[in-house]
Structure 1
């Protein structure tokens, strides 16, 4: 599928402010799963300098500097991307990884260790216990479990039993907050499921990007998805043989054709689309407006 994606962010200020350096994470990587046909970045006022670099994870980063004051700052990213569906993970999964518990190879574990270990303090092991209920039999004893079945069950349980509540405030809840409150955003659900996956010994990492909602196409009969029209977040789980596999717990998606990844990181705070600084007086900041559109132009 080929998509035209436009992401516009406008910041408004009551008085002219001095714009500091901004760090943009808006350009996806060209890869076997997604071809980047074109990427355009328009910024008003015009920057004095834009420097492109890769972060520690290989994500494309733009460092933007200004030498002016402004009452508005508009950043518009336009992407023309072609998304290719991943082969069914079940067809590629290594035999030793078809059931849990599984062990990564010596070569794999050297690179996966930081993504397999728990990242959030959980003194009462609440996330562990929640995740391991999916390993239990009807009699309450733990048993081996098909790896892909467990992943699908946990994603489905988050979608069915946790309330999706959009939140404009920047940041991500801790997995314990999501578990206790039974609600969250796509970022919260992704982080919570990452820790659940790590609890059962699987390596997981955070993905930020967009999700295509086919229901918004004229005349479409498709079922709508949660998170369309905004930035979206999900996770990847590493499965021996199948590699990094996309999982979206907000929509209980274990297929990936609708997902358009931009940034892949270890923790949510490392995947902010726009970060920056300004010199201003209290009260000068009037907020921002974000507009995101994704159209299928295959």
Structure 2
């Protein structure tokens, strides 16, 4: 069972002292059967007036940091240590009624799944046109095979380009550019899956990138994003279209949401002018630790 340590630093610089407003952080992993948080540490400079924790509407653990000071620099440093149980291959144990697509979700689950089935870009047919190139409308296909085909189509058909600007491209923009970030690819897969009637949700977290003896992984050095699709009998199955991963292998889940804007790792405000911003630096390091390694 791998042990991972994640060290994440975000530093803001300003051209003159600005009054710092509340900041919201999403960095504490969700405990589950496949990952268990062992230790966690947060350091903030300058020292905040208050730090408190809440659970948001999705059950994510959110940190709220308040200040009563002005400063020319602001730095957040987090370290987490966790156990991780990888799924090396997808285990699609699908209920009989859902083994072939298309299908309808069970009525007892539908009210809770409906928000995740609803498309965000209903009037844009770009995704439907793209899907029609390799998925015949109305044709019956094995559900697991269909989802893996969709994941591979994005992984193999688009170029990864790291982008420092905030926000997420629309699926139409990603299709037009044929490139994007992990957040862009996750949103594209979600919209494509929803157009096929699947429930899909966005995931933010980290990816372990082996220094050696492993394949190249995209999205390392910063936070990572992927998605999960609800499959009856298997539950929420994770798909990373950036790297073509199915399952949680090398993926550390921190937060889930209905759309990317609801799962931003760090956001906040300050009182000042836009020109006061002098830059931001983000550093993420995910390391595998030997069993018995001392906790932070």
Whether these two folds match at TM > 0.5 is: yes
Q: TM-score range by the shorter chain?
A: over 0.9
- In the alignment, what sits opposite 2:82? 81
- In the alignment, what sits opposite 1:178? 174
- In the alignment, what sits opposite 2:197? 201
- In the alignment, what sits opposite 1:135? 135
- In the alignment, what sits opposite 1:5? 6
Q: Which moved more, 1:32-41 or 1:282-291?
A: 282-291
Provide the C-alpha distance between the structure 1 equivalents of 2:174 and 2:65, rounded to a whole number of angstroms: 34
Provide the C-alpha distance between the structure 2 equivalents of 1:189 and 1:91, rounded to a whole number of angstroms: 23
Taking structure 2 as the reference length, the TM-score comes to 0.94
Report SS of the residue matched to 2:134. helix
Q: Which runs of 5+ in 1 are unaligned?
A: none
C-alpha displacement at 1:88, in angstroms? 5.1
- In the alignment, what sits opposite 1:126? 126
Is residue 261 of structure 2 the alignment partner of residue 269 of structure 1?
Answer: yes
C-alpha displacement at 1:86, in angstroms? 3.9
Q: Which moved more, 1:55-64 or 1:82-91?
A: 82-91
RMSD over aligned Cα atoms: 1.5
Report SS of the residue matched to 1:283. helix
Report if the CA contact (8 A) 2:201-2:259 is conserved. Answer: yes
Provide the C-alpha distance between the structure 2 equivalents of 1:187 and 1:87, rounded to a whole number of angstroms: 23
- In the alignment, what sits opposite 1:287? 279
Provide the C-alpha distance between the structure 1 equivalents of 2:86 and 2:99, rounded to a whole number of angstroms: 21
Is residue 153 of structure 2 the alignment partner of residue 157 of structure 1?
Answer: yes
C-alpha displacement at 1:191, in angstroms? 0.3
Provide the C-alpha distance between the structure 2 equivalents of 1:52 and 1:221, rounded to a whole number of angstroms: 39
Aligned residues: 289
Is residue 180 of structure 2 the alignment partner of residue 188 of structure 1?
Answer: no
Provide the C-alpha distance between the structure 1 equivalents of 2:167 and 2:199, rounded to a whole number of angstroms: 23
Taking structure 1 as the reference length, the TM-score comes to 0.93
Report SS of the residue matched to 1:92. coil
Report if the CA contact (8 A) 1:135-1:144 is conserved. Answer: no
- Once the two structures are superposed, residues 51-86 of structure 1 have per-residue CA deviations (whole angstroms, 9 ceiling, x without a partner) of 210110001111111111111111011000111124
Provide the C-alpha distance between the structure 1 equivalents of 2:274 and 2:94, rounded to a whole number of angstroms: 55
Provide the C-alpha distance between the structure 1 equivalents of 2:222 and 2:92, rounded to a whole number of angstroms: 32
Distance 1:239 1:79, change over 3 A: same
Report if the CA contact (8 A) 1:89-1:242 is conserved. Answer: no
**Aligned equivalent of 2:141, options 131, 142, 145:** 145
Distance 1:200 1:281, change over 3 A: closer
C-alpha displacement at 1:90, in angstroms? 3.6
- In the alignment, what sits opposite 1:61? 62
- In the alignment, what sits opposite 1:213? 209
Provide the C-alpha distance between the structure 1 equivalents of 2:205 and 2:274, rounded to a whole number of angstroms: 32
Report if the CA contact (8 A) 1:6-1:77 is conserved. Answer: yes
Report SS of the residue matched to 1:250. coil
Report if the CA contact (8 A) 1:187-1:268 is conserved. Answer: yes
Report SS of the residue matched to 1:172. coil
